[in-house]
């Protein structure tokens, strides 16, 4: 009977009622009891025989770690570019589950490691190091584990040396702080011996040092020699021996007297003072600034006004040991590129140096604003983009936003001058010469330079500080309204036939035109257009009437001033627009014309409906919103006509579309 001890346990399967899972675990089995065992598992119903084997357990160990067959530190020369092989053997029962190679505690990627099973319980890992360089030096470690006990590891070191050697081309590069050069060296040099005029001297005011530079390759180092407060008697040629314990290299350099930064040349497409180009040509310009200094200036800025070109806009390059160049490209030059360009250079010695060049870009005038301007107190100030400065001005009165009217150049004066900050901008001013005349309306100024023109629209609003003009305007407006009231009253009393209505149209138009201009009777009778005319109140100036001979619609502004005072006059329908002689069609078209032409002017809808109901099959020139019965009419009243009983002397009067053909009596 064996004295081996076992731990035995069975557990039911939670998914099925007839399956159990059993485990047997040996406890402290001596080596002499290792081997094959048999036993039985039973319950109240029956039993089953089982066989199992207890084997020896050993934790994983690294049996050997070699580098090119040796277990000691290996030293090679980087310039020899040798190839080395790193091998690691591991053993364990059970066999190792992991075998990992590390370099300076960083795992070597699996793709660089080759694995091989060398026995029942043994594994081997191999890493090949091709053309060994400084980057390959370090400590290599092999670690293994099989889950028994603690992991095991071994380490070996690789030392790679590289005697200092100057990287070709063997040149010294002047920098801000001194002179830089590159070497191949491993380890990094730390010893520097200076020779001046054949004598070994203390480095004194000279600072020197090297650091790793992986830009070239892993074996490269970058070194800097920086003079610090070197007396004049110590200026001249030097030799420094740079050593890293493996070898050394001699570097020769010269310490010059310091020179402050100087701008040797500043050009704009070969122009050195002023360059003038045309903006619409799309020419590309180059600003080139050449500077000199010892040490070479690294602070080189190009500016225009308060704008500094950033590193992305400036291309820098070394053109010599102590010279540098900065280039700014201006593609497709436009008006906004105009101005003074300044180059500034500094190297830390006695301040900085600056130089300026002027770029003029010829451009026709153009607006830098979108809205229509408003003249106040007889003066209008605004800015344009233009070069040269506009020097010719023509002024027009506008009947609307698009139609050009009378030339008003004698009523205005204009002038512009270059802006001192943004040189492509000009500041302009327009002055109204006759301050006592009321010229409320919309105007346009055409402003010219040698390359073109720009149109600037502006409005003039009625001045509140002109009492005399206000009184005359009030008197004129009152007279105008009275003349209309007389015509309306006469027509309310009696209605005329077609030829009489035509004459009434002429009478009304004649009374209106008496204040302004002659109206041709034939023009009135021969056209069928509708224009909305706003009759001004007594406290407002008189607007310009539409062209002579066009039927009009009149609204008393006194009652609707708040609704329409900010609305522009509607545009005139096309010449030749006509209406059907059918009464219903005329009424419909008249309403459409009123809604379209007036652009939504407010009127009393109920009163207007009443006025429409008073019309008969004849076409009336106008009808009052509130009327009285025509008791003294010479004509028979239309029985279908119904007029309100409440007469009023005041009201809103509308001049309806006229559809008369030329009278047969004429």
Where along the chain do its domains lie?
5-54, 58-161, 167-255, 259-359, 368-460, 474-655
Please tell us whether the domain made up of 368-460 is placed in CATH 2.60.40.
Answer: yes
Tokens for 459, please give them: 């409005």
Average pLDDT, whole number, for the chain? Answer: 73
By mean pLDDT, which of 339-353, 401-415, 538-552 is the weakest? Answer: 538-552
Containing H/E element for 38? strand 35-42
The pLDDT of residue 210 is above 60: yes
The pLDDT of residue 7 is above 60: yes
Burial of 371: CB neighbours in 10 Å, binned 0-12, 13-18, 19+: exposed
What does each C-alpha distance from 152 to 58, 59, 121, 123, 148 come to in angstroms?
Answer: 12, 9, 15, 14, 11
The pLDDT of residue 235 is above 50: yes
What does each C-alpha distance from 365 to 124, 250, 358, 416, 508 come to in angstroms?
Answer: 85, 67, 20, 11, 47
Secondary structure, 3-state, 477-538: HHHHHHHHHHHHHHHHHCCCCHHHHHHHHHHHHHHHHCCCCCCCHHHHHHCCCCEEEEECCC
- Name which residue leads in pLDDT, 643 or 444: 444
The answer to whether 186 and 160 have CB atoms below 8 angstroms apart is: yes
By mean pLDDT, which of 31-40, 246-255, 320-329, 387-396 is the weakest? Answer: 31-40
Tokens for 331, please give them: 């593609």
* Average pLDDT for 20-30: 81
| Pairing mode, strands 74-77 and 47-54 | unpaired
Q: Please tell me the predicted confidence (pLDDT) of residue 423.
A: 83
Start-to-end C-alpha separation, the chain: 153
Q: If we measure between CA atoms, which residue out of 526, 530, 606, 602 comes closest to residue 561?
A: 602
The answer to whether 62 and 152 have CB atoms below 8 angstroms apart is: yes
Q: How many helices (H) and strands (E) does the chain have?
A: 6, 42
Instruction: Name the β-bridge partners of 113.
Output: 127
The CATH T-level fold of domain 167-255 is: Immunoglobulin-like (2.60.40)
pTM above 0.75, yes or no: no
Where is mean pLDDT largest: 167-176, 177-186, 582-591?
Answer: 177-186
The answer to whether 194 and 240 have CB atoms below 8 angstroms apart is: yes
The pLDDT of residue 117 is above 70: yes
Q: Which residues contact 352 (CB under 8 A, 6 or more apart)?
A: 261, 299, 344, 345, 346
**273-287 CB burial, b ≥16 within 10 A, e <16:** eebebebeeeeebeb
- Name which residue leads in pLDDT, 414 or 528: 414
Containing H/E element for 470? helix 467-493
- Which CATH architecture group holds 259-359? Sandwich (2.60)
DSSP annotation of 68 reads T
The pLDDT of residue 530 is above 60: no
* Average pLDDT for 331-340: 89
Q: How far apart are CA 523 and CA 552, in angstroms?
A: 13
| The domains spanning 58-161 and 368-460 adopt the same CATH topology | yes
- Which CATH architecture group holds 58-161? Sandwich (2.60)
The pLDDT of residue 291 is above 70: yes
């Amino acid at each position: 009977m064996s004295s081996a001890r076992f731990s035995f346990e069975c557990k039911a399967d939670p998914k099925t009622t007839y399956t159990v899972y059993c485990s047997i675990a040996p406890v402290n089995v001596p080596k002499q009891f290792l081997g094959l065992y048999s036993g039985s598992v039973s319950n109240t119903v029956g039993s089953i025989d089982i066989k199992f084997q207890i084997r020896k357990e050993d934790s994983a160990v690294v049996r050997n770690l070699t580098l090119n067959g040796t277990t000691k530190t290996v030293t090679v020369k980087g310039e020899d570019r040798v190839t080395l092989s790193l091998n690691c053997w591991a053993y364990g029962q059970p066999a190792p589950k992991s075998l990992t190679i590390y370099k300076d505690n960083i795992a070597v990627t699996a793709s660089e490691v080759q694995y091989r099973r060398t026995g029942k319980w043994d594994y081997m890992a191999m890493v090949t190091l091709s053309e060994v360089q400084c980057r390959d030096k370090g400590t290599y470690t092999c670690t293994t584990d099989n889950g028994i006990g603690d992991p095991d590891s071994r380490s070996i070191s690789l030392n790679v040396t590289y005697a200092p050697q100057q990287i070709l081309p063997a040149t010294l590069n002047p920098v801000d702080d001194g002179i830089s050069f590159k070497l191949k060296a491993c380890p990094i040099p730390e010893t520097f011996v200076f020779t001046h005029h054949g004598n070994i001297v203390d480095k004194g005011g000279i600072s020197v040092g090297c650091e790793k530079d992986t830009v070239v390759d892993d074996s490269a180092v970058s070194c800097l020699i920086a003079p610090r407060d070197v007396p004049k008697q110590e200026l001249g040629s030097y030799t420094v021996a740079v050593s890293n314990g493996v070898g050394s290299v001699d570097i020769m350099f010269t310490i010059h007297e310091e020179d402050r930064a100087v701008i040797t040349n500043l050009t704009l497409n070969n122009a050195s003072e002023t360059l003038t180009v045309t903006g619409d040509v799309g020419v590309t310009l180059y600003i080139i600034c050449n500077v000199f200094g010892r040490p070479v200036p690294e602070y080189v800025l190009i500016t225009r006004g308060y704008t500094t070109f950033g590193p992305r806009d400036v291309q820098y390059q070394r053109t010599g040991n102590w010279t540098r160049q900065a280039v700014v490209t201006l593609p497709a030059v436009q008006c906004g590129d105009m101005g003074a360009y300044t180059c500034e250079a500094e190297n830390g010695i006695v301040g900085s140096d600056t130089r300026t060049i002027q770029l003029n870009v010829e451009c026709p005038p153009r607006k830098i604003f979108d809205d229509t301007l408003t003249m106040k107190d007889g003066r209008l100030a605004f800015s344009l983009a233009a070069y040269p400065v506009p020097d010719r001005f023509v002024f027009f009165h506008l009947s609307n936003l698009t139609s050009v009217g009378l030339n008003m150049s004698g009523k205005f004066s204009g002038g512009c001058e270059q802006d001192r900050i943004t040189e492509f901008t000009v500041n302009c001013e327009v002055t109204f010469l006759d301050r006592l005349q009321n010229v409320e309306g919309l105007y346009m100024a055409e402003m010219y330079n040698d390359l073109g023109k720009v149109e600037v629209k502006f409005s003039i609003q009625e001045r509140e500080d002109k009492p005399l003009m206000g009184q005359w305007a009030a008197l004129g407006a009152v007279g105008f309204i009275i003349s209309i009231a007389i015509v309306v009253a006469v027509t309310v009393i009696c209605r005329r036939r077609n030829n009489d209505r035509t004459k009434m149209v002429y009478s009304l138009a004649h009374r209106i035109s008496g204040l302004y201009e002659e109206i041709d009777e034939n023009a009135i009778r021969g056209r069928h257009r509708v224009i909305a005319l706003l009759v001004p109140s007594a406290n407002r100036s008189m607007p310009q009437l539409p062209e002579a001979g066009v039927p009009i619609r009149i609204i008393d502004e006194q009652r609707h001033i708040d609704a329409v005072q900010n609305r522009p006059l509607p545009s005139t329908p096309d010449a030749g627009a006509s209406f059907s002689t059918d009464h219903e069609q005329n009424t419909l078209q008249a309403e459409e014309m009123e809604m379209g032409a007036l652009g939504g002017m407010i009127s009393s809808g109920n009163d207007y409906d009443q006025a429409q109901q008073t019309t008969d099959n004849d076409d009336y020139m106008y009808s009052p919103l509130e009327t009285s019965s025509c008791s003294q009419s010479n004509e028979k009243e239309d029985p279908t006509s119904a007029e309100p009983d409440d007469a009023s002397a005041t009201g809103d009067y509308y001049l309806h579309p006229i559809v008369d053909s030329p009278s047969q009596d004429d």
